[in-house]
Amino acid sequence: MEPLKRAIKTKYGIYKLKATKDVKDIYSMNAKKEELGIILNLGGKDTNCLQIKVPYEESVGKILWIQSGKENECSINSKEQRGEKLIHMVHLGITIAKEINPKLEWLELEDSASFNCVLPDGKKIAMNSTEHDIAFYQQSYYEKRYGAIIIDDALKKEYTNDMKGFNEASKKPILFDFKSNEIKEELMPLYNSSVTWKEFFDAINKKYRNKKCTVVAIWIKSALLRILNNRIYSGLEWKIDVNKITTIIYEERELVKSGGSTRKHKKYVKEPYLPEILNMDWKRYFKP
């Protein structure tokens, strides 16, 4: 197929659709390229926020990239794509992938999702989405949002067994190192009144709500290692059953060319180190 560019309109936004050939080089006496399928891209004018490798014949494809976006990033009409809207965009991409290849059954992906967690002084630190969601919901990011399952059967069995640790009182010690005296002072009443780790994380979720990632940022990994038998389940390979994904109704349009690009280069900001985080004003942060 020839490279294709279109505008795709749904109830949540207008997206740029770009489809290009997925080819591999065949090295022989007569070098040539074999066309395997297409690379499907959805996003804004200058950013691809979803990238799916769609084979022409095989039943298994791959999600190469998922990214949320602020205004002017993941949709043409400047609408922010996060939360429910990001899930909608992924469902839209899968809908189009299934139209391209009706034989498609699974999309594999490597878990690498993260988001920025705002610290007390306004600086940001990357929070692993899978670790965050396992702690608060006992499901991984892709499992919770897209019904994904771990590809490796042995790891999937370990994961299921380890998740029971959230409800086992024996996994929760009398004392736990929260890394910061201010955080410890704030959280110990909730910790002491909880029998299991699930009860504790539920209490944090209820009290701190959209600030909860900040509250757990510096100690969540050590807690998960204790709960999950010294294993971490981020960075694994998962797969999504495309037949269980909601089909999105969309309208296809010609892509209208705009003027010069207004894309801004992202400025790299160095994440703060633990000593710097510990010295932030946590007492003021916890005040009502």
User: pLDDT grade, residue 26 (50/70/90)?
Assistant: low
- The owner of tokens 């736990």 is 176
User: pLDDT grade, residue 68 (50/70/90)?
Assistant: confident
Query: What single DSSP character describes residue 267?
Result: P
Does the pLDDT at position 128 exceed 80? yes
Residue 176: exposure state from Cβ atoms within 10 A (0-12, 13-18, ≥19): middle
Which residues are 100's β-sheet partners? none
Q: What would the mean pLDDT of 223-241 be, rounded to a whole number?
A: 94
The domains of the chain are located at: 113-142+163-235+271-288
pLDDT of residue 2: 45
- Those residues with Cβ within 8 angstroms of residue 44's Cβ, 6 or more apart along the chain or in another chain: 15, 16, 69, 72, 73, 74, 75, 76
How confident is the model over 199-214, as pLDDT tens digits? 999 999 999 999 999 9
- pTM, entire model: 0.84
Out of 50-59, 151-160, 248-257, 269-278, pick the least confident.
Answer: 248-257
Distance of alpha carbon 191 from the chain centroid:
28
How confident is the model over 81-114, as pLDDT tens digits? 778 888 999 999 999 999 999 999 999 999 888 8
- Find the angle CA(190)-CA(192)-CA(198) to the nearest 5 degrees: 65
pLDDT of residue 29: 56
Does the pLDDT at position 43 exceed 70? yes
